[in-house]
Structure 1
Amino acid sequence: MRGGLRIALTCITSFSVSGCMVGPDFKPPARPSDTHYIPQSAPGTAETDGQRPELLEGRALSVDWWRLLGSPEINDVVERALANNYVLSIARAQLASAGEQVKIARSGLFPQLDASSNVARRKYGQSFLGPIATTFPAFSAYSGGGVFNYDVDLFGRTRRNIAMAKAAHDVQREGLEAARLNVAAETVMECLHIAATNAQIDILHSVILSDEKNLKLVTQAHDAGVATLTDVTTAQSQLDHDRTLLPDLQQARDVAYDALAFLTGTTTARSSLPEFTLAKLTLPRNLPLVWPSEIVRARPDIRAAEAELHAANEAIGVATADMLPRLNLSATVGQQGLVGGPAGMAWSLVGGLSAPLFHGGALKAQKKAAQDYYTASFAQYQEVVITAFREMADSLHGLEHAYASVETNEQALGSAGQALKLSRAGYAVGNTGVIQVIDAHRLEELAEMNLVKARTDCLRQTVSLFVASGGGVHQTVAAQH
């Protein structure tokens, strides 16, 4: 009997899988036909002095792209963030849950077998078996066995549900990839913020030291009768002003460390995080640039949007199948008998075919709602794609202007340094007043600060380009596409 039941179940399952599937088959959207992100020359394509990077179009970006910055400290902190960040822990759990939902959907392809049993005390009346039934004594009976149910997938409803669950799983998988990219990017950006702030603090310490020397010089000149009290007051005021700039920079650095501790999944613990030095960071000379036609495969948010679109497509198939007949098979087999008496084998087999006739327009509305949701999902997909192109264009423009800013600020710093040198030399022989020296010193300070900001912006724009490019594709993700 078991062999026959196994053969029957196999035949039913095969029939269900081979049944037709109603509704539209999913086709991924066409890839972009664009060949460039921006119309003008990108960094490295125009004639430069060799300081700007070269864009390598079509070159794949490594998954651990942050290593291109050449900072062991950043590498360490990013790895800690990827291992301990709670956002990623949530995303991993959601992905695991979505995987279980796929298993649940797949179970619909197989018969459901449950155990059942019951004990009853009965007394028949004449309305059931006639007047003679009143002479039957009350009795106790029991039954026990298995209950078999199977919903034959005539029109692909179950298979559409499986495909929809797989698409939802893909959404969660790409959500994990997007979260991983965002956590790495935020961690690197905080490291760059700390490095830039440290550089500005160092410059400010140097400025304050120079202010103190200027004050000493002016004071000596005043004692010698060649400088006025106004000159001394002006020098003292400049020193006091520059000292007030330190607390804000130190606060910004501490806040950045707090954010970094949060990203690495720990409480604020400055001592466990390394120092970051701007001068030790490397600007990559070669920047991988994904082709516009490949951006839809490179970015996890676009892949997630496509998976959402796939799920919406399968929902149309489910809604279509709900408008058609459904075939259900059920059977019971087990032992029945009187309590205290002998038992015997009993079985039943029932096949039921149901078809919707009138549901007040609900089924048509469900299908139309699924179609409308697909339309919305397609528009959402297009928005995500065009957002990717905008972010790539913004990053490329940002790189171009950031490197131009570095070049102009280097020239400005050189000019300011030369002007300060001449002003101090003139002051030493009495040809220049202290105000001119302080102003020249102020210009050099601003030039140094601006150069630090420009170099930091180059690093930030480089990271933004890596993030806009999708942050590299894991081999497991690439294999599934």
Structure 2
Amino acid sequence: MRRYLPLIPLALLGACTVGPDFETLAAPPPQAGYATQGAGRAALGQGPDRGWWTAFGSSELDALVARAIASNHSLAASRATLERARERINAARGRMLPQVDADARAEYQQLNLSAFGFDAFSTSGGQSIKNPRFDLYTIGGGVTYDLDLFGRNRRALEQTRADTEASQRQTEAAHLVIAGRVVQQVLAIAALNDRIATERALLAEDERNVDLTRKRQQGGVGTLVEVLSAQAQLEDDRGGLPALEQQLVEARGMLAILVGLSPAELEPTPFALDRFALPAQVPVALPSALVHKRPDILEAEARLHSATAAIGVATAQLYPNVTLGANLAQSSSVPGDLLSNRYRGFDLFAGLTAPIFHGGTLKAQKRGAEADARAAAETYQQTVLEAFGQVSNLLSAIETDGRSLATRQESARIAQRSLRLSRRSFEVGNSGVLQVLDASRTYQRSQLALVDARSRQYLNVARLYVATAGGWLENAATTPSAPPPAGGQRRLTLFGRSDLSINP
């Protein structure tokens, strides 16, 4: 065994890991935040809780979200993909341990003695056999261990962990998106129900106009033209109702798919916006908190980590690799002798593999890995900017929605009063039917605009919750990244830089 003592220093080199180390990206500076901070409903801080939809105060909504999380088939597929990614970590970790294999063989052989310069083989009885035939039974095993001198396996494990974290962030984002779509779909159904109810109420107003003009005609002070004008408006308004009812059917069908049901299985959805509480304040994550909370940003960061580790894998391919191993075999032509020491053989070995010439392939792979890391860095920057832009737009939208709703409410109040006065004036003969119809049309437009403003306010609040909410998997621990290797390796700082400079 003294012959193998020189290999010990080589084994001690196993702590060396080539390639750049990844650092958790720093938070953006304060001035790199949102273009507007909104007003009224927005409260900047750490952002909403995971069960943010409970802020709308609807047990029916809470139940639908819970059913979607449990039964949505896309989420089930995403969870299965995450499970597969976690098993890849176990596989990569296993490759870093000694590999032990056992084997057994039963053979019927014929030796070719002529190939070794012998014409025949003489047995103890004097019989000459040119190429003897015999049975051979072998059992044994072997162990091999890759010293991983330059950290190829360690970088591969780090890369797998980062890929798994990216899969986890994808799953978290999928849960968040499904919950957000359920909430928005329920609010859309409530808005459609309100709009249909408003349309029917407006049809009742049109019928009042028809009845009013018909009574004036019967009283001898009105004309058939007035009656026909009122009837035309009634039929015109009635024509828009089927389209709204079709939109409601489609919205219910989409909600059924989200919760894992067929449209026929979905229970009635008599939602109305009045049945939901509009949160007085929406907790919005600060930019410094958003980059460490929002799943798509964390996924982009994990992809960057994976690309950085891939540089280490490609770099390690340029250096030698040493493998230690041992084999033990028991071979005999008689099965009963397999366990006898007489038929035992073994070998200990150390193998060195070093790249000499590969036509530039290995260096090209390293340069390609560096280019992938630069692309991942740019993708991360773009993801952060898009997230900030989305939150900025929604903050501005909910501020605008508040002013718009107040204006619509005042407009609807004035239009209702104008319609009431126009009817009274028409009843006493001070004005014609066209004035009533115009006032009725203005009132209808104001009522429908008010419904649209209210639904838009609810939907934008829900979108703002989704845009700043965190992950979902409460019971799933975040996959830890590999600890930074010791030995003064190069550091890789990426936030705020458009280029990724990596020295060979």
1:372/1:215 Cα in 2 relative to 1: closer, same or farther (>3 Å)?
Answer: same
Correspondence for 1:241: 236
Correspondence for 1:306: 301
Secondary structure, counterpart of 1:57 in structure 2: strand
Which among 121, 142, 150 is matched to residue 145 of structure 2?
A: 150
Structure 1 residue 128, shift from structure 2 partner? 2.5
Secondary structure, counterpart of 1:275 in structure 2: coil
1:367/1:410 Cα in 2 relative to 1: closer, same or farther (>3 Å)?
Answer: same
Secondary structure, counterpart of 1:324 in structure 2: coil
Contact 1:325 1:354 in 2 (8 A): yes
Structure 1 residue 470, shift from structure 2 partner? 2.9
Q: Distance in 2 between matches of 1:207 and 1:146?
A: 87
Correspondence for 2:353: 354
User: Which runs of 5 or more residues in structure 2 are unaligned?
Assistant: 123-127, 481-504
Q: TM-score, normalised by structure 1?
A: 0.91
Secondary structure, counterpart of 2:262 in structure 1: coil
Structure 1 residue 324, shift from structure 2 partner? 0.6
Correspondence for 1:47: none
Runs of 4+ in 1 over 6 A off after TM superposition: 477-481
1:358/1:86 Cα in 2 relative to 1: closer, same or farther (>3 Å)?
Answer: same
Q: Which has the higher helix share?
A: 1
Correspondence for 1:49: none
Q: Distance in 2 between matches of 1:389 and 1:424?
A: 52
1:363/1:59 Cα in 2 relative to 1: closer, same or farther (>3 Å)?
Answer: closer
Q: Distance in 2 between matches of 1:184 and 1:80?
A: 10
Q: Distance in 2 between matches of 1:146 and 1:232?
A: 101
Correspondence for 1:20: 16
Secondary structure, counterpart of 1:441 in structure 2: helix
Q: Which amino acid aligns with 2:394?
A: S
Alignment partner of 1:440 is 2:439: yes
Correspondence for 2:501: none
Secondary structure, counterpart of 1:351 in structure 2: strand
Correspondence for 1:380: 379
Correspondence for 2:269: 274
Contact 1:73 1:276 in 2 (8 A): no
1:426/1:317 Cα in 2 relative to 1: closer, same or farther (>3 Å)?
Answer: same
Please give the root-mean-square deviation of Cα atoms over the aligned residues, in Å.
Answer: 2.4
Q: Which amino acid aligns with 1:410?
A: Q
Q: Distance in 1 between matches of 2:95 and 2:477?
A: 30
Structure 1 residue 38, shift from structure 2 partner? 4.1
Secondary structure, counterpart of 2:469 in structure 1: coil
1:362/1:36 Cα in 2 relative to 1: closer, same or farther (>3 Å)?
Answer: closer
Structure 1 residue 147, shift from structure 2 partner? 2.2
1:377/1:36 Cα in 2 relative to 1: closer, same or farther (>3 Å)?
Answer: closer
Structure 1 residue 198, shift from structure 2 partner? 0.5
Secondary structure, counterpart of 1:282 in structure 2: coil
Q: Distance in 2 between matches of 1:426 and 1:471?
A: 59
Further displaced range: 167-176 or 269-278:
269-278
Secondary structure, counterpart of 2:18 in structure 1: coil
Alignment partner of 1:68 is 2:55: yes
Between 1 and 2, higher relative CO (CA 8 Å, sep ≥ 6) is seen in 2
1:33/1:385 Cα in 2 relative to 1: closer, same or farther (>3 Å)?
Answer: same
Contact 2:92 2:160 in 1 (8 A): yes
1:437/1:76 Cα in 2 relative to 1: closer, same or farther (>3 Å)?
Answer: same
Correspondence for 1:283: 278
Query: For residues 167-220 of structure 1, what are the alpha-carbon distances to aligned partners after superposition, in whole Å with 9 as ceiling and x for unaligned?
Result: 111011000011011111111111111101111111111111121121111011
Q: Distance in 2 between matches of 1:271 and 1:470?
A: 28
Which among 165, 189, 197 is matched to residue 192 of structure 2?
A: 197
Contact 1:35 1:293 in 2 (8 A): no
Secondary structure, counterpart of 1:398 in structure 2: helix
Correspondence for 2:497: none
Alignment partner of 1:96 is 2:83: yes
Q: Distance in 2 between matches of 1:392 and 1:285?
A: 18
Structure 1 residue 141, shift from structure 2 partner? 2.3
Correspondence for 1:42: 38
Contact 2:423 2:436 in 1 (8 A): yes
Secondary structure, counterpart of 1:61 in structure 2: coil
1:36/1:339 Cα in 2 relative to 1: closer, same or farther (>3 Å)?
Answer: closer
Q: Which amino acid aligns with 2:401?
A: A
1:390/1:67 Cα in 2 relative to 1: closer, same or farther (>3 Å)?
Answer: same
Structure 1 residue 381, shift from structure 2 partner? 0.5
Q: TM-score, normalised by structure 2?
A: 0.87
Q: Distance in 2 between matches of 1:293 and 1:271?
A: 41
Q: Distance in 1 between matches of 2:135 and 2:238?
A: 97
Q: Distance in 2 between matches of 1:411 and 1:257?
A: 32
Structure 1 residue 275, shift from structure 2 partner? 2.1
Q: Distance in 2 between matches of 1:81 and 1:423?
A: 50
Q: Which amino acid aligns with 1:256?
A: A
Q: Which amino acid aligns with 2:101?
A: D
Structure 1 residue 271, shift from structure 2 partner? 4.8
Q: Distance in 2 between matches of 1:267 and 1:17?
A: 61
